[in-house]
A and B are shown apart, each in its own frame.
Chain A
């Protein structure tokens, strides 16, 4: 008899759980889980994504939330490790019951998380990893690219470099997926635009290599016309320092994707090399629009620093999440995705569309040159050419072909 009673109690327990839980879900907030690397040298980028995201979340919650629900988010530190990223993604989905997943700066973590959300049917906003695979061959219904990727950077750089008279190139960079993908992106596109370019050689150093002088002196002795540097993380600053110290920048024209970014130029202060070509999605001083000024003002007031490129990504991701649920009319994953496909949101760099065919945000690229500034204690980008998003993105047909493979 006792046994029957126990079974009855357990069944009752389950029943109440299943009945009450969906009923109570109306009051449940909309939950966003962020997996990202919050330790080591990546933090300078990832904090900006999180902090700008928080501004947008606080703003919307102050106005009464999304669809009358509070928007909440929780973060997990993946320490740049794939295994940690995977277990944290699963933990967020299963234990935290998140509605949206966001992150991360590591391409391998992003690709692994993308595989998980595909099965779990949770929308994933990829906010910083630059692998073009995420929205191209590995793309699917539940993954969204909210950042430039290596193929976009490559095309933008090729547009800039093809106009220059350089023929004999050297390629150097950080020896990991991002570095090689970036170099291949620039070089492949440059070859398409200019048949006469030649590669003299390549140098690759290990990620985080502090002393780049030996690499630069070796390249100097090969005397190329120009050098394409594919650097990420801390190397972005190291390469500029070594270029300045060896006099490399005055001798050989350089393209460094991140040369004009604030995360590179701010630490260098007045000691950056001048005239280095670089591309970026965002400058807090360009474009000079009321939207950008307002964004910079709020960010600076909140955190006491200028927003960097990551802040743009965090802000845009938040806008898509907020506007998407509002348009969908209720918290329903499939309706949310239908709503944001092709959606346009306002941003500090103008209106940004989320392309329906590959879920890639159409972001403009700013190609510029480093120059001493009169207004700031660090160098800024000048002679900025805006390359509109559609010009640097692969076409929908190309995406289809890549995914069919």
Chain B
């Protein structure tokens, strides 16, 4: 292979942007997971399934409108709400009764929830691959740095930081956000000052799941929506929240950037072995900083 051809400014630039846009999806999903992890101290194993439901729900909503632009925007708004509703039901009907139990029970519950949700998705949407498209102005590509860059990925580059800002405002400026941050640090104290911890946990769980659904809805137009898409994301999400620092939402951002960018550049530099790049990065970070890049709330 002609090395000079690969290391051009245009190739590097476009890989950087593509990696960045991938990182945005990962960030949205992982920030939700990290949020739940921070407040409830439980890695939500069903997070991937909720992401999958987000994608399937987005497909259904978009199809209702015959694949029009309106359908896409409504899908983006309502699909995460569907996921939030599902998680609210699961939380209030089942999960909230387990908060007093030992930690392992909570973990087992999320695992059971994953299995149940996966089968529900199969029953509801069937086995076929599903797909829908972004509205026309987000289709196709525009040249950036001389190479074609998909418009939808550009859109993701705008949405990602937007979500990050909203999350920051939420956790720092709203009461519920502040309470959940406090619960992450010392939940007994939060209970002692008279706050209903069960509701704080419930709200945190639903918000985290909403973000999973938003990630699913955002990724839906660029991938095939299929059973099993939860498995892929959940492993990456666990790695990202671990290298970012458990329960730290900004850690999720850092982890996602590392993951997305090492992958994109790995593909360019050494395509045969590109798969290992993000994982090598994870190993290096864990050796260098075993508790993750940013401060873990645990």
Contacts and interface: CB of A to CB of B under 8 A. Distances in A.
Contacts of A221: 5-6, 8, 10-11, 14, 147, 268
Q: For chain A, what secondary structure do more than half of its interface residues adopt (helix, strand, loop), or is it mixed?
A: helix
B18 A217 contact: yes
Given A40-B228, A214-B22, A217-B15, A245 B129 contact: no
B139 interface: yes
Given A215-B271, A220-B147, A201 B1 contact: yes
Contacts of A245: 139-141, 150-153, 222
A203 interface: yes
A47 interface: yes
Interface string B229-240: 101110000000
B268 A39 contact: no
Contacts of B246: none
Contacts of B8: 221
A210 B148 contact: no
B274 interface: yes
Interface in A226-275: 233-234, 236-238, 241-242, 244-248, 251, 263-264, 266-269, 271
Contact of B118 (A39, A213, A220, A223): A39
Q: What are the 10 closest A-B residue pairs judged by CB atoms, nearest first?
A: A237-B224, A43-B127, A40-B228, A203-B271, A221-B11, A267-B131, A41-B228, A245-B150, A41-B226, A267-B129
Interface residues of B, number: 55
A342 interface: no
A271 B234 CA distance: 28
Interface string B125-157: 001111111000001110000011111110000
B224 A202 contact: no
B141 A210 contact: no
Contacts of A267: 128-131, 224-225
B275 interface: yes
Contact of A234 (B11, B149, B226, B267): B226
B139 A39 contact: no
B49 interface: no
B127 A211 contact: no
Contact of A39 (B15, B122, B151): B122
Contact of A218 (B22, B129, B267): B267
Given A203-B274, A221-B268, A208 B229 contact: yes
A222 B231 contact: no
A299 to B, nearest CB: 14
Given A245-B152, A267-B128, A222 B1 contact: yes
B243 interface: no
A209 B224 CA distance: 10
Given A220-B148, A245-B140, A271-B133, 18 more contacts: A39-B122, A41-B129, A206-B232, A208-B228, A209-B232, A210-B222, A215-B271, A218-B6, A223-B5, A237-B226, A241-B223, A241-B224, A245-B139, A246-B148, A247-B140, A266-B129, A267-B129, A271-B139
B61 to A, nearest CB: 16
B40 interface: no
Nearest to A237: B224
Interface string B205-243: 000000000000001001111111101110000000000
Contact of B263 (A214, A238, A268): A214
B148 to A, nearest CB: 5
A206 B224 CA distance: 15
Interface in A168-200: 172, 175, 200
Contacts of A305: 128
- The CB with the most chain B CB atoms within 10 A, among A215, A221, A244, A264, is that of A221
Nearest to A221: B11
Contact of A268 (B14, B25, B131, B271): B131
Contacts of A234: 129, 223-224, 226, 228-229
A218 B232 contact: no
A204 interface: yes
Of listed B118, B150, B229, residue having the most chain A CB within 10 A: B150
A44 B224 CA distance: 12
B127 A47 contact: yes
A41 B268 contact: no
B26 to A, nearest CB: 9
